[in-house]
Amino acid sequence: MTSQKQWGFTIIELMLFLGITGALFAGLLVGVNTNINQQRYKESVVSYQGLLEQQYSRVYNPQNSRQGNETCTAEGGVESVTDSGQARGTSGCVLLGRYVQIKNDGMKIETGDVIGVEPAAASNGISDVDAIAAYAPRKSPINIQEYDVEWQSSLYSASQATSSASFLIIRSPVSGLVRAFGQDEPLPTVLSDMITVGAAGSSIKACVRNAASIGLPTQSVTVNAKIASPSGIQVNGGDTTC
């Protein structure tokens, strides 16, 4: 009688196979998640840059969003009324530009219109900074928009604190040139306090950080107020100061 051999794997061989396969699969998942987080981080940087560029575009191509049931007061404020209000273009209010405010520990961005009122005295012969301040700029209560910094990212200042930077992008009512003003602080209650030569020459950096471990150097977005156009918004792909 001949004996038959039985072929198969021992329990130790099966355990080794499953262990190696599991380790390879876990490593693959880690790599995939890292790649996804890296792509999301890059998208959050590009999204913030695009939002800032959009504000410049809206100043160069203004749109009056005031509705027919709102009226502009002599002091340059906007109030809702029960009747038909004022038709657009018939009030003393002037659409000057846009504002940007980083808030909520660098996780949200608020944008809106900046309006003013024509001064009693003529603004001819004075600088753009003085002319803009003479229009008593203030935030419009209409169509305020709020955005989240995408993919759990947040904005930090160069001093490593959560950013509360603010920007004003305003077209001069005298020369028609667009001027930008920036500071590493929230918008002042009186916007004219921010309309200064110093703020017009500022360079405000926001470091973009992500809560996840992404294995990429921190990127930053800098707004150079001296260049009052989208080209003044610069992305640094590996900012060691962040």
Cα Rg, the chain, nearest whole Å = 27
Place of tokens 């530009």: 97
Whole-model pTM? 0.82
Q: What is the pLDDT of residues 70-100, one digit of tens each?
A: 566 655 556 655 455 556 666 667 889 999 9
The answer to whether the CB of 65 falls within 8 A of the CB of 144 is no
Mean pLDDT of 206-224: 86
Asked if the model's pLDDT at residue 223 lies above 90, the reply is yes
- CB neighbours of 52 closer than 8 A, spacing ≥ 6? 100, 167, 221, 223, 230, 233
Which of 204 and 24 is assigned the larger pLDDT? 204
The domains located in the chain, with CATH, are 36-61+94-236 (3.55.40)
Given this model, what pLDDT does residue 143 score?
82
pLDDT at res. 116:
86
SS3 190: coil
- What pairing do the DSSP bridges indicate for beta strands 203-210 and 219-224? antiparallel
| DSSP conformation letters of 100-149 | EEEETTTTEEEEEEEEEE--SS--TTS-HHHHHHHT--EE-SSS-EEEEP
Q: CA geometry: angle at 72 spanning 89 and 175, to 5°?
A: 55
- Look at residue 153 and give its three-state secondary structure: strand
Structure tokens that stand for 155 in this block:
């904005």
**Both tokens of residue 191?**
């916007």
At 99-108, the pLDDT tens digits run 999 999 999 9
Long-range own/partner contacts, residues 233-236 (CB < 8 A, 24 or more apart): 233/49, 233/52, 233/53, 233/56, 235/45, 235/46, 235/49
